[in-house]
Amino acid sequence: MHEGHLEREAALAELRERLADGLARARLTKTQLAQRAGLGRTTVQQAFRKDSPAPSAETVAALARVLRLPAEELLELRRAATGEARLPEDGEERGPGRPITEWEPHDLEVHPAGPAPGPAPAPGAAPGRVLPGYVRREHDQALDQAVQDVAEGRSRMLVLVGSSSTGKTRACWKAVQPLAARGWRLWHPFDPTRARAALEDLQRVRPRTVVWLNEAQHYLGDTRVGERIAAAVHDLLTDPGRAPVLVLGTLWPEYAKAYAALPAPGQPDPHSRVRELLASRTLTVPDTFTPEALRAAAVLAAGGDALPADALTRARDHGRLAQDLAGAPELLRRYQHGIPAARAVLEAAMDARRLGVGLHLLQAFLIDAAVDYLTDHDYDQLTDDRAEQAFADLAHPVHGKQAPYAGSPPAPGGLPVPRPRRPRLCRGRAGVPPRRPPRTARPPHPPRPVPARLLLTRRPHPSHPPRRPAPLLARRREKAGARKEPNGSAAPPPTPAAPWGTGVRLRQQ
């Protein structure tokens, strides 16, 4: 008995030593490691402390993934440290997929929420990606029950139904972590196509496998083989010789509604097998976080998790926290990679917000002000439909059905009022993007000079009546009026801004 105790202590010491070596090689603090692994700081601290019990298998797997250590070897050390017996290997073919511990969540289509904290990446290197801390919600209980059922030997299937970027895929990834410590595999069929891969290899799935059908419409909704895939999944779930397996999928509500709809009498029924498969196997994921979930997110933010802390500054009132986290990186990418005209409109809107203009900005104001945000080269490339192109580009949605720009219903005066969505690039606490671009893209110190056109253009906000200018505007107008012409006469008053159609005349003046 004493020898067994010594062996367990030696295995635990080796486990912690290998984790410490990996942390040193990664050049991360334990706080940064906790953020990248999606774990609490206390959990990570205890995993390294000599006087703490052995960390859980989920913790070991998460740390191994971030530190790029062999997860199976570390889990074997943990089993030796706790005295757990290793699951026997099947004598049969392993089947498709690979151990869950070898998967990276973003490779399973979990949306990145932002860059990893810590030092900036080297020039030319891709920025690291990190998952924010996880906030449990009501649907997680049903996922936990499904995982418990398969751990007890029964096959299960759940398809999470919810709008874009509500946290469906992240919830599935969180749910399967207890299975990673048990040696389960995960199969994500996608090569050569999702539908073809699923159809060809579903019969090869072996026990203790998670079948990952994210965006399940690509499998079940395929017009040629969707019904055959549904039949193959049904056969897998009902075959006791291949149990237990866990099938997880995600769907948007419009697809779930289409598959559940009954055809009219005499009409073809293209989704009969899919409808039968999904019956009693769907789970709704709400669009918004409940007050309790928002309070849990605030606890993560108070503990040092920067991503939910930033998102809560915008999403606390409406509760669309998951959409903010998933959409912000894409909104920033749209700003950085947008066409010059769209980028100029965004920069004009950001500066207007920074100078205290209200949230709702008139389209004519943005068109007028955007001219001076274009370089001479980009200005010369403008076409007759430049304004339409710019606003169409900005109105195209990203994750979470968000866009940098959206038009609101007509104001009482009859003018359409553009309204930036939340989270937005043209509105933030300081009138800048929620994820501020790096200094190489848009230096924040000192702020760039604001073009005079933005300050002298007609009223930017529909509720702004003609009024005396604010002190800042007055000073700038006085300065503009004090300019002297080459002959010594005073400069003419500034010409009112006009749409891009007359921009050439304004630039010449």
Lowest mean pLDDT of 95-104, 350-359, 468-477, name the range: 468-477
Amino acid type, 315:
A
The top-scoring range by mean pLDDT among 73-87, 117-131, 245-259, 495-509 is: 245-259
For residues 272-297, b (16+ Cβ closer than 10 Å) or e, as one string? Answer: ebbbebbeebbbebbbebeeebbebb
> Which domains are seen in the chain, by residue range?
1-86 (1.10.260.40), 96-111+133-261+270-287 (3.40.50.300), 320-508 (no CATH)
Average pLDDT over residues 463-470: 44
Average pLDDT over residues 238-255: 95
Average pLDDT over residues 249-269: 95
Predicted pLDDT of residue 454: 60
Predicted pLDDT of residue 351: 86
With 60 as the cut, is the pLDDT of residue 163 above it?
A: yes
Considering the chain, what is the average pLDDT of its residues?
78
Lowest mean pLDDT of 365-374, 383-392, 464-473, name the range: 464-473
With 90 as the cut, is the pLDDT of residue 283 above it?
A: yes
| Beta strands in 38-155, from DSSP E residues, in sequence order | 98-99
Predicted pLDDT of residue 21: 92
Lowest mean pLDDT of 80-89, 211-220, 232-241, 478-487, name the range: 478-487
Q: Is 246 helix (H, G, I), strand (E, B) or coil?
A: strand
Entry pTM? 0.64
Q: What is the largest CA-CA distance in the chain?
A: 103
pLDDT top residue among 198 and 482: 198
Amino acid type, 338:
G
Amino acid type, 164:
S
Q: Is 408 helix (H, G, I), strand (E, B) or coil?
A: strand
Going from the C-alpha of 45 to that of each of 40, 42, 69, 110, 235, the distances in angstroms are 9, 5, 18, 26, 45
> What percent of the chain is predicted at pLDDT more than 90?
38
With 90 as the cut, is the pLDDT of residue 412 above it?
A: no
Average pLDDT over residues 398-423: 54
pLDDT top residue among 78 and 167: 167
Alpha carbons within 13 angstroms on the beta-carbon side of residue 40 total 12
Average pLDDT over residues 78-95: 64
DSSP 106: G
With 50 as the cut, is the pLDDT of residue 414 above it?
A: no
Distance CA 165, CA 324 (A): 9
Average pLDDT over residues 288-311: 93
With 80 as the cut, is the pLDDT of residue 96 above it?
A: yes
Going from the C-alpha of 97 to that of each of 168, 198, 228, 352, the distances in angstroms are 21, 12, 21, 52
Predicted pLDDT of residue 505: 26
